Amino acid sequence: MSSKKEREPRVERRLRSAIADRLGMTRRSVTLPRDFQGLARGEHLALIYCDGNKVGDFITTAVGHGVGPDTIAPAINNGTIDAVAEALVEMHREIPAMPIRAVPHILGGDDVQITVPASAAWAFTRHLLKSFSSRVPAEVGKDLAKGRGLPDISMSAGVVFFHRSTPMRDVLDLAEGQLRHAKQHVRGREASVAYLDIPADGQEAPPTRRPYRIDDLDKWSELLDEVASIPPAQRATLLDLVRSNRHTEARARARWAGHTCIDELESMEPAALDIRDQLEIARWWSQ
């Protein structure tokens, strides 16, 4: 074994610097775990696999607006790292009990593969996809003349919740499949996310589950906070009823218990969220 101190990867160093800047700290005071052992106290984690949508079109337009071709790739890379840092900080602010914990696997260009504690995954993913849409154009276009704006850019994500004993190769393959599903759902036109919960779903998501637009998740977020606050035993009972196609009974029980959030989400326009989807999302949704 070498006695030399292992060098920190440059991208991880850059990520820690970006986090430190947002917290008003020094880079040395920001630490990230090197493996899953230090990532979470519990046994469940989430891999988030992200990729930008229609990035080639964005680059073509940027060049046409006067951005130097040699500067675009580094700018996209910097914007993506900034978006990840911002998402980690916002995740912590949204869930104060959750320290900034993540294991980045790939942060390059518009590609992100990162593992976070399962209970932080929804907050992190929502913030990352929104931040990417603002950070990348700001970084790419910072030297453009005023009025020479860039087109919108978005990112989609595949999220897989898993027990940390699950083979990582399997998790990665499943996350890649969820990412494709998310992109296909919106035809690469806007930020979207698809997910799989291996402990609850196995290797395949229920056929009724669809990917979600990130804008819809934001609209649902306060009501999903309420669904997630339903005691776990009650949520499990309701979910068992729904999975047995006893939807009417499940809704009646929810109303009797005063959980009006379920009816509100199912009747929200223009995008409603089915009771089963609500209860399944709530498993890892932190309020």
Residue predicted with more confidence, 190 or 8: 190
CA 224 to chain centre: 16
Going by C-alpha positions, the residue among 48, 45, 55, 140 that lies closest to residue 98 is: 45
Do the bridges between strand 44-53 and strand 111-117 make them parallel or antiparallel, or are there none, so unpaired?
A: antiparallel
pLDDT tens-place string over residues 19-44? 999 988 888 888 888 888 878 777 89
Q: In this model, does residue 7 exceed pLDDT 60? A: no
Bridge partners, 52 (sequence order): 155
pLDDT, position 5: 43
List phi, psi (to 5°) of 215: -65, -35
Q: In this model, does residue 240 exceed pLDDT 50? A: yes
> Amino acid identity of 249?
E
Q: In this model, does residue 100 exceed pLDDT 70? A: yes
Find the mean pLDDT for residues 166-181: 97
List phi, psi (to 5°) of 9: -55, 140
Cis peptide before 270 (omega within 30 of 0): yes
CA 213 to chain centre: 12
Find the mean pLDDT for residues 39-60: 91
Q: In this model, does residue 6 exceed pLDDT 70? A: no
Q: Where are the domains of the chain?
A: 10-22+31-205, 223-282
For 10-22+31-205, CATH gives 3.30.70.270
Contact 284, 122 (CB under 8 A): yes
pLDDT, position 9: 74
Q: In this model, does residue 234 exceed pLDDT 50? A: yes
List phi, psi (to 5°) of 44: -110, 140
Q: In this model, does residue 76 exceed pLDDT 70? A: yes
pLDDT, position 34: 81
Contact 137, 150 (CB under 8 A): yes
Q: How confident is the model at residue 135 (pLDDT cuts 50, 70, 90)?
A: very high
Residue predicted with more confidence, 66 or 181: 181
